[in-house]
Structure 1
Amino acid sequence: MKQAFKLGFIVNPIAGIGGSVALKGSDGEGIAQQALQLGATAKANQRAATALSVLKPYQEQIQIFTASGDMGENCARELGFSITNVYQAPLQSSASDTENTVAALVAEGVDLILFAGGDGTARNICHQIETLQANRNIPVLGIPAGCKIHSGVYTVTPKAAGRVVEMMVTNQLVTLTDADVMDIDESLFRDGVVKAKRYGEMQIPMELRYVQAVKAGGKEADELVLQDIAAHVIDELEDSPAVIGSGSTTAAIMDEMGIDNTLLGVDLVQSETVVASDVTEPGLWAFVQQHQSTSDEPIKLVITVIGGQGHIFGRGNQQLSPRIIKAVGKDNIIIVATKRKLASLNARPLIADTGDDELDQALAGYLPIVTGYRDQVLYPIASPL
């Protein structure tokens, strides 16, 4: 059964409302009310609808999670999408309502947070994600609806935001990258002073641009890509204990560490040192239990994709049993693959076939795949039919 794309959706209804009446934005106490009194009209929902309209052909494949009323529900419902309300918003929403909605969407485990607003809205979302220490696996994407769009988390037009989400829904490769969240001081801006500041960064999906090495093909190019993947994983592991699964891509990671690997088996590694080679399922389970009883440090699990088939569990790595995968946790699984290998699947989803239906369903959804150094793509994971 195909997993529905879980789209988090937030609209800041008053974003940009002060622009048409020369108030330079909507931030600040009383600014929105002043703008309305001057004859301004709110257009954020209109711009959000432009983005969502691109996705209408895929309504059966998308479940939208949002806040009530003008913070998302009305816009999405009018376009015929399936809606789940995760937050009850007041008639006059504020920055705290945006942050509360983000918290609810993170708890829901959405695949993407799509929001309409300006730099102030981006700041609110960034602040809440950092406060929650939310997993960076939840990317965000901004629909430009404010007066100030200095942040790099926005697309160039509302329709462009819809196109990027369309790529994700249709299983095309979408690169993940970190983008700066910027804002200016509106009170100074109204006095003619532009003072911009970086407030943080969030992970966003971008249209994929293949690097030349992958396009060129050939063994030498693939080796360079594998070295980049290895460098990223080594940075991410730091000194954490890691279970390294079978396959040539994971073998390249251990080669980069300068340690021996079991090509068709599973190894335990920590601090770039082999703890145990070709470990059995009982041996892995004993290690996981012992480690978790003495340390709060998570265990990482590094796996790759079986080329042509797309399996990440259930083929060639049966040592990674359901109890071990559950103990490690979805957020600590690092999937690695070259873009060439993913492209060869022709948009078919990866497959988690652990033998545990409940676990397979929990693993389903969109996850980042490490495809290079600080280069990841979102790709869907499906449970067996």
Structure 2
Amino acid sequence: MRRVGFVVNPIAGMGGRVGLKGTDGKVAEARERGAEPRAPERAREALQSLAATEVDIELLVAGGAMGETVVTEAGFEYETVSDPPGETSAADTRDAVRAFATTGVDLVLFVGGDGTAVDVAETLAECNREIPMLGVPAGVKIYSSVFAVSPRAAGRIAATFERTATREVNDIDEAAYRSGEVTSELKGLAEVPVAEELQSSKQLSGGSVATLAAGVAADVEAGVTYVLGPGSTLGAIKRELGFDGSPLGVDVWRAGEEGGELLVRDGSADEILDSLDEHSVVMVSPIGGQGFVFGRGNQQLSPAVLRQSGIEIVASRSKLDDIGVLRVDTGDRDLDEDLRGWRKVRIGRVERRLLKVV
């Protein structure tokens, strides 16, 4: 019998599709922009995977939308340890984790992003309990190494892990992040199950991409609409194309015979989709140290956008050397499967390297 404490941050990731790059202090704005909750579906996937292991699991859950609702839908028997209000907060996450620690669990399985990871880790430390934690990725930004690479992987790991190791809990200032400044701060250390399907901490440094950017700019085709993702590599390409793009958002630029036109700056998923035509290409660079191409920090590149576009992946040689494989987590299982396999990654003016999407 394995006792698992399960808690969901129901608003995690809501800002991603609508271009807010996070949900801290932005829930009302996200809803005004038409954002839909993302965390419940991620939680369902993790629970389905957990159930499929056929391991005997005893679930302790936070009440309502923070766990009880989705666990009931999944058909698990459970014990509720908290009763959060309709509008939940970080304090409710911490209350649930304290209850898990007091009651005694073998693992805290949480659904959220880096902010939720910090809440869980700090509360376990305050309780002076060396209970391992594992994240189901649902946030916009995920810089910590306490998350599984996907919800389904999280379910498998929660049921089958045999040992733990110390890993980093990181977070960034979302207000600074929205203005283009990215500084990852170590918030703590936590015990996490040892498994191959855990993601690494996000690396913030990388080599020069000037040659790569020059090569991309030289090869753009007139009449093609380019959807350019976030990050420093794409930032260099945007500058080479001659426009001031959003450093951490998604921009849409259409190439002309001479120069081009910026159609959308820092767009939401709907704005990007509306700007596409029959000749559209999504250009992205994997996250250093993790290898994620889709599903981390660029949720504006929705499944609908990706299905209507070609895809070009670009990266410096040094970044690829550190990654090894590429990963996708679009929230659409069929699309993820379609994206898997060997992909050409542009690494220079003309050079390309084959890397596998797993």
TMscore range, shorter length: 0.5 to 0.7
SS, match of residue 143 in structure 1: strand
1:126 maps to 2:114: no
**What are the Cα deviations for residues 145-187 of structure 1, in whole angstroms up to 9, with x where unaligned?**
000110000011111111112314xxxxx23101100001000
Contact kept? 1:47, 1:145, Cα under 8 Å: yes
Contact kept? 1:9, 1:64, Cα under 8 Å: yes
Aligned residue-pair number: 197
- For 1:59-208, what aligned pairs fall within 5 Å after superposition? 61-134=56-129, 136=130, 138-168=131-161, 174-207=162-195
Please tell me the residue identity of whatever aligns with 2:32.
Q
Contact kept? 1:59, 1:81, Cα under 8 Å: no
- For residues 72 and 170 of structure 2, the distance between their equivalents in structure 1, rounded to whole angstroms, comes to 31
- For 1:1-385, what aligned pairs fall within 5 Å after superposition? 4-28=1-25, 31-57=26-52, 61-134=56-129, 136=130, 138-168=131-161, 174-207=162-195
Contact kept? 1:118, 1:145, Cα under 8 Å: yes
- For residues 59 and 74 of structure 1, the distance between their equivalents in structure 2, rounded to whole angstroms, comes to 21
Please tell me the residue identity of whatever aligns with 1:104.
A
What are structure 2's unaligned runs of at least 5 residues?
Answer: 198-358
- For residues 167 and 110 of structure 1, the distance between their equivalents in structure 2, rounded to whole angstroms, comes to 15
Contact kept? 2:137, 2:147, Cα under 8 Å: yes
**Higher helix content, 1 or 2:** 1
Contact kept? 1:59, 1:82, Cα under 8 Å: no
Please tell me the residue identity of whatever aligns with 2:137.
P
- For residues 54 and 80 of structure 2, the distance between their equivalents in structure 1, rounded to whole angstroms, comes to 17
- For residues 92 and 196 of structure 2, the distance between their equivalents in structure 1, rounded to whole angstroms, comes to 33
Contact kept? 1:54, 1:166, Cα under 8 Å: no
Deviation at 1:207? 2.2
- For residues 195 and 18 of structure 2, the distance between their equivalents in structure 1, rounded to whole angstroms, comes to 35
Please tell me the residue identity of whatever aligns with 1:118.
G
Please tell me the residue identity of whatever aligns with 2:125.
E
**What are the Cα deviations for residues 278-311 of structure 1, in whole angstroms up to 9, with x where unaligned?**
xxxxxxxxxxxxxxxxxxxxxxxxxxxxxxxxxx
- For residues 100 and 68 of structure 1, the distance between their equivalents in structure 2, rounded to whole angstroms, comes to 11
Contact kept? 2:2, 2:159, Cα under 8 Å: no
Query: TM-score scaled to structure 1, two decimals?
Result: 0.50
What are structure 1's unaligned runs of at least 5 residues?
Answer: 169-173, 210-385
Please tell me the residue identity of whatever aligns with 1:66.
V
Contact kept? 2:7, 2:61, Cα under 8 Å: yes
**What are the Cα deviations for residues 73-92 of structure 1, in whole angstroms up to 9, with x where unaligned?**
11111111011000001111
- For residues 15 and 57 of structure 1, the distance between their equivalents in structure 2, rounded to whole angstroms, comes to 25
Deviation at 1:112? 0.6
Aligned CA distance change for structure 1 residues 65 and 48 (closer, same or farther; 3 Å): same
Aligned CA distance change for structure 1 residues 133 and 166 (closer, same or farther; 3 Å): closer
Contact kept? 2:38, 2:138, Cα under 8 Å: yes
Identity percentage of aligned residues? 41
- For residues 208 and 46 of structure 1, the distance between their equivalents in structure 2, rounded to whole angstroms, comes to 23
Deviation at 1:58? 5.4
Please tell me the residue identity of whatever aligns with 1:105.
F
Contact kept? 2:57, 2:159, Cα under 8 Å: no
- For residues 22 and 199 of structure 1, the distance between their equivalents in structure 2, rounded to whole angstroms, comes to 25
SS, match of residue 193 in structure 1: coil
Please tell me the residue identity of whatever aligns with 2:138.
A
- For residues 196 and 165 of structure 2, the distance between their equivalents in structure 1, rounded to whole angstroms, comes to 10
SS, match of residue 121 in structure 2: helix
- For residues 52 and 180 of structure 2, the distance between their equivalents in structure 1, rounded to whole angstroms, comes to 45
SS, match of residue 17 in structure 1: coil
Query: TM-score scaled to structure 2, two decimals?
Result: 0.53
